[in-house]
Amino acid sequence: MALDAYIDRTEQGQYRLTNHYRSSIYTFNSFLKNTMFDFSNLIYNSGSMRNLNDGKNLQQQTNTCQNDISL
């Protein structure tokens, strides 16, 4: 009887340890994913910043087209 109780306690402790380990791994994985996402956004945004001049030119072209249409 005492041995059974001891085994139960040990299994519960092992289970708790495993759960803690799994949740730590999960937290670390989600942290990595979020960091990668942030970095990809940064890289994408810096690329967009480089293309801002093209965007301005495009906007000017669009404006001139609209002016032509309104005439």
pLDDT attached to residue 52:
56
Whole-model pTM?
A: 0.27
Report H helices in 1-71: 2-50, 52-70
Mean pLDDT (10-residue bins), the chain, 71 residues: 57 60 72 72 61 56 57 53
pLDDT attached to residue 61:
56
Containing domain of residue 37, as a range? 2-70
pLDDT attached to residue 17:
59
pLDDT attached to residue 29:
75
pLDDT attached to residue 34:
73
Number of separate domains in the chain: 1
